Amino acid sequence: MNEGPQERFKELLEKAEFYILNQKYSEAVKILKQAIATDDESPHAHYLYALALEGSNEQEKAKQHFRRVLELDPEHAEAKTHLDRLIGE
Amino acid sequence: MPKIFAVIGLGTFGSAVALELARRGYEVFACDRDPDKIEELGSELANAVELDATDEKSLRDAGLDEVDTALVSFGDSIADSLLVIMLLKGLGVKEVVVKVADERHARLVKRIGADRVIFPERDMAIRLVENLLSPDIFDFIELSEEYSLVEIAARKKMLGRKLADLHLRKRFGVNVIAIRSKVPVVNKKGVPDIEEKINIAPGAEDEIREGDTLVILGRDQDIERVKKL
């Protein structure tokens, strides 16, 4: 990615974090879809996406993206915890 | 005095119950006739005893006459579980809970004097079917033929509204007895995360927010109407 898309990607993640922290999970989902379309290899983007999906009660999709986080970063502790909980539910 | 428990039969279910009771700080006698199971659990349970529970003397020698509540969790033998229930009642155990495998077993143990019968496979199957058929039903407990307790994802129409404004009791005859919320937090590493908070007996002014799960008590037909919202 060149400078432009990278900046844009960062902005999208910041915006998504803002929505998540304000419990506007479905707004965050919309933003994170765009972020992942820009960069599908970012564990943090997939983590935030999974978190926002879980917050929106979209458990199945959330599981897929927590799994994707662990593919990209097998040591991601938060993704492990969430996935374990969702599978056990 | 805290209750003293016994778990007789340390299969998957029995050992999970014994370990959870011990984890919560209760005294548990965990018994099985299989020495391998006792060895396996011995490091985690202070009172794991190898014994034949169909032998009254063994039960008494192990101190089972001091137990308040006993779980009989035999998978294989109905005859053995009936005998053990009788022996435990004879020893003065106040409450005998029995895990059964089918309806016939349930009828028999009730007749023999079990205080409570549990049917984990059947109950779990019903809950699983409910969840498979309605993915936004997270949990389901049948309280009677007519009434159930369900956990249901907050409907879109409910978001941002106060509980009182939804008039769920008036419109549908159901009661919201708890709300489970997904509350955003920033964890120690500075990463956004979600924690689950439960609000028992929510008030009329409590607002329904995104990610909330409502724990609803009501008649099955009324709960069905809420699901369609």
What was the pLDDT predicted at B135?
67
B209 has a chain A CB within 8 A of its CB: yes
- Written as one letter, the residue type at A39 is D
pLDDT band for position B36 (50/70/90)?
Answer: very high
Cβ of residue B194 closer than 8 Å to a chain A Cβ: yes
Count of residues in chain A: 89
**CATH number of the domain bearing residue A21:** 1.25.40.10
Query: What pLDDT is recorded for position A20?
Result: 96
Chains A, B: CB contacts under 8 A, how many?
46
Strand residue runs (E) in chain B: 4-8, 27-32, 47-50, 69-72, 95-99, 116-118, 137-142, 147-153, 175-186, 192-200, 213-219
Q: Is B176 helix (H, G, I), strand (E, B) or coil?
A: strand
pLDDT range class, residue A43, cuts 50, 70, 90: very high
- Interchain CB distance below 8 Å, B211 and A57: yes
**Tens digits of residue pLDDT in B146-204:** 888 888 999 888 999 999 999 999 999 999 999 999 999 999 999 999 998 989 889 99
Average pLDDT over all residues of chain A? 92
Helices (H), B26-155: 35-42, 56-61, 78-91, 103-112, 120-133
Locate the domains of chain B by residue range: 4-118, 123-227
For residue B145, is pLDDT > 90?
no
- What pLDDT sits at residue B158? 93
Q: Are B68 and B4 in contact (CB under 8 A)?
A: yes
Strands B137-142 and B147-153: antiparallel
Could you give phi then psi for residue A67, rounded to 5 degrees?
-65, -40
pLDDT at A49 over 60: yes
Structural domain containing residue A37: 3-88
Tally of structural domains, chain A:
1
Interface probe for A, chosen from B138, B191, B197 (most Cβ of A below 10 Å), is: B191
- Dist CA B180 CA B214 (whole Å): 6
Kindly state which CATH superfamily the domain B123-227 is placed in: Regulator of K+ conductance, C-terminal domain (3.30.70.1450)
Rounded to a whole number of angstroms, the distance from the CA of B22 to the nearest CA of chain A is: 21
Evaluate whether B89 touches B70 at the Cβ level (below 8 Å): no
pLDDT (tens digit per residue) in B6-16: 999 999 899 99
**Interface predicted TM-score of the whole assembly (ipTM), two decimals:** 0.89
The predicted model gives A48-58 an average pLDDT of 95
What residues of chain A have any CB closer than 8 angstroms to a CB in chain B?
A: 17, 20-26, 47-48, 51, 54-57, 59-60, 78, 82, 89
Q: Is it the case that residue A14 has pLDDT exceeding 60?
A: yes
Task: Identify the residue with better confidence: B127 or B63.
Answer: B63
Q: Which secondary structure element, helix H or strand E, spans residue A8, and what is its range?
A: helix A3-21
Choose among B154, B184, B209: nearest Cβ to A20: B184
A60 interaction partners in chain B (CB closer than 8 Å): 135
Between chains, do A25 and B210 touch, taking CB under 8 Å as contact? yes
pLDDT band for position A2 (cuts 50, 70, 90): low
Residue A6: strand, helix, or coil: helix
Q: Which residue of A has its CA nearest to B209?
A: A23
Alpha carbon B214 to chain centroid, angstroms? 19
Judge: domain B4-118, CATH 3.40.50.720: yes
Taking the CA of residue A59 and the nearest CA in chain B, the distance in Å comes to 9
pLDDT value of residue B74: 82
Same fold, B4-118 and B123-227: no
Is residue B75 over pLDDT 70? no
- pLDDT at position B81 is 87
pLDDT at residue B17, as a whole number: 94
Q: Kindly report the pTM of this predicted structure.
A: 0.65
Output the DSSP codes for A20-72.
Answer: HHTT-HHHHHHHHHHHHHH-TT-HHHHHHHHHHHHHTT-HHHHHHHHHHHHHH
Contact across the interface for B182 and A89, Cβ inside 8 Å: no
Type of residue at B133: L
pLDDT band, very low/low/confident/very high, at B213 (cuts 50, 70, 90):
very high
Q: What is the pLDDT of residues B87-140, one digit of tens each?
A: 999 999 999 999 998 888 888 888 888 898 898 888 877 777 777 776 666 777
**pLDDT tier at A66 (50, 70, 90 boundaries)?**
very high
Angle at B104 between CA B30 and CA B90, to 5 degrees: 45
CA–CA distance, B77 with B94 (Å, rounded to integer)? 23
- Residues linked to residue B194 through DSSP beta bridges, in sequence order: B184
Q: Which residues of B touch A25 (CB under 8 A)?
A: 182, 210-211
